[in-house]
Chain A
Amino acid sequence: MNGNPSSRDSDATDPDWVDDFLFTGKPADVCLRLPDPVDRGTLHRLVTAAQTRLDAAGLRPGGAVALRLPPSLAYVVNLLATWRSGAQAILLDHRLTDHEVDRALRRLTPQVVVAPVRTGGGALRVFVEVTEGVTRYGDRPAPTDHAVIQLSSGSTGPAKVIGRNAADLVAEVRRYTQLDGVALPGERLILLPSMVHVLGLVGGLLYGLHAGVELVPPERLSGGAVLDAIGAADSPATVLGVPFHIGLLAATQSDRPLPMFTRMITGGELVSATTVRSFTERFGVPLGNMYGMTEVGVIGTDLHGQHRPGILPVPGIDVREVAGELWVSCPDSPYLGHTDPSRWSEGWLHTRDAGTVDPDSGLVTIHGRLDSQVSVGGMKVDLTEVEKTVAELPGVAAAVVVWDDGITAYVQPVGTLAEETLDQQLAERLASYKRPRTLRLLDQLPRTTTGKLVRSVETLRTAGTS
């Protein structure tokens, strides 16, 4: 145990779980610093007022609310208000295009959509100033009793729809409280990952609220702003981020002493030994590592950076290796609609991560993906979704999308197709982090003798430069 307060049991399927599990602590306790402090009493009042707005827009218990908001106080307030209304929250990354959002809304039929009417605060903000608008969308109840619905880039083209119920979220927060190396009550969490995705949502927002850890998003996304956030108070500070953020911090030149800087923890892809060395030499604090998935949340950790690249499964999670693939215990299928048995079966999530489990130490080592999913700044992107989108564009005869130090698309046009046109069409259909960094237009894509498209990066690179 790490010294976190023990929490009383809550009926996690009841809307009361928000008050019983997340709004523990005193009303004057600060839970967010934006940088002005927001205490629990204030947050509670804002949430209650938001419930009234959601109700007026047509939300009923058992309905769903789509939150299309960037990380912001408005997002936190409307998320908690949705849950306190006994409703389901559909989390839509604010970078998704109208095309992607429309498709999700038609499929998930929320009663209400919450989206920004106005945003402010300048560029590169980690937490955005948002004035939100609440709009009625439909009148159907949510098809499932999940508390949260998240979309994950899908291998069949459209996004996978993943649901988690309140009891599952509570159980994950409890797993965090049993870890040695997370921020403790009264300490601060400098939060860089988006609260719309699992690491920032559960490891940041929900854990912070439950455990009494202050959540501090830096004023903006820069190394200097992160250091400023760390140094803004004397209480111990843990930085939560993805590997990209390590580089931002390591590249800072400030020599200001930061004795309160306790640790940095990153999720997402593995970190190179060089990056680890440059970070630890620069700051002299541990660089921890976490492994998790949207479907189940945190799976394993190495918060002291002692087992790199290995991680130990967190309490309550079992990991096993089946024919080179890591399977993770997950009692119920997390997928809405039909569950592909190659993704989940009989209480096990098939991660599609290649990996090994050491039979003696239990350490899990991840070797890479077994499918076409890649990580872009901690965001999972399935290249199949990108390829399908490119191939379906007007004027495109065929397309192959591969990872070549970045998402790279090779496109065979039907006739004349300007790169600019292609760019513009993609910008309407794909969120920015999913779009190809490199586009190559070829008269003919390389094909095998039987006419199949060649996917070899080497062959495509040669074809693209010849």
Chain B
Amino acid sequence: MAGQPDLARVDLVAMLAQLTDRPTEQPERIGSMELAWLVHLVEQRYDRRLDFTDDQLAGIRTIDDALVVFQTALAVANG
């Protein structure tokens, strides 16, 4: 995708660190607020809107879950 490398776990961790002002360790579990924050920053980074379903987001419990959902959504948006 134009000018941006693929989204990686480390990117999500860095985005969460911006929210919590906690530069190092992030809890593995994420709540709805963290999720909204990640969607906001991922959309901004790739300059596109990602339309998720409620079920997709409801299934996200961890950073790794979020990564899979985001990568899928970005791939669809690119396809």
Contact = CB atoms under 8 A, between A and B. Distances in A.
B9 interface: no
Nearest to A465: B25
Contact of B54 (A123, A244, A272, A408): A123
Interface string A330-344: 000000000000000
Contact of A377 (B21, B33, B61): B33
Given A433-B32, A437-B31, A222 B19 contact: no
A405 B61 CA distance: 18
A248 B56 contact: no
B42 to A, nearest CB: 11
Interface residues of B, number: 26
Interface in B12-61: 18-22, 27-33, 36-37, 39-41, 43-44, 51-54, 56-57, 61
A224 B43 contact: yes
A247 B21 CA distance: 11
B36 A248 contact: yes
Nearest to B53: A123
A119 interface: yes
A201 interface: no
Given A122-B52, A123-B52, A124-B36, A251 B31 contact: no
Contact of B51 (A122, A272, A406): A122
A405 B28 CA distance: 13
Contact of A437 (B29, B37, B43, B57): B29
A123 B31 contact: no
Nearest to A434: B31
A421 interface: no
Given A122-B51, A251-B40, A377-B33, A438 B27 contact: yes
Interface in A237-294: 244, 247-248, 251-253, 272
B27 A406 contact: yes
A435 B27 CA distance: 12
Given A221-B36, A248-B36, A123 B29 contact: no
B38 to A, nearest CB: 11
Given A122-B51, A123-B56, A222 B40 contact: yes
B27 A223 contact: no
A423 B54 contact: no
Contacts of A223: 40, 44
A6 B20 CA distance: 44
Contact of B57 (A123, A251, A438): A123
Contacts of A437: 27, 29-31
Nearest to A406: B27
A436 interface: yes
A171 to B, nearest CB: 32
Contacts of A222: 36, 39-40, 43
Interface in A409-466: 423, 432-433, 435-439
B32 A248 contact: no
A122 B53 contact: yes
A32 B61 CA distance: 33
Contacts of A370: none
A248 B41 CA distance: 9
8 contacts: A122-B53, A123-B56, A124-B39, A221-B36, A252-B44, A377-B33, A405-B22, A408-B27
Interface of B: 18-22, 27-33, 36-37, 39-41, 43-44, 51-54, 56-57, 61
Given A224-B43, A251-B18, 4 more contacts: A124-B36, A124-B52, A247-B37, A251-B40
Interface of A: 119, 122-124, 221-224, 244, 247-248, 251-253, 272, 376-377, 405-406, 408, 423, 432-433, 435-439
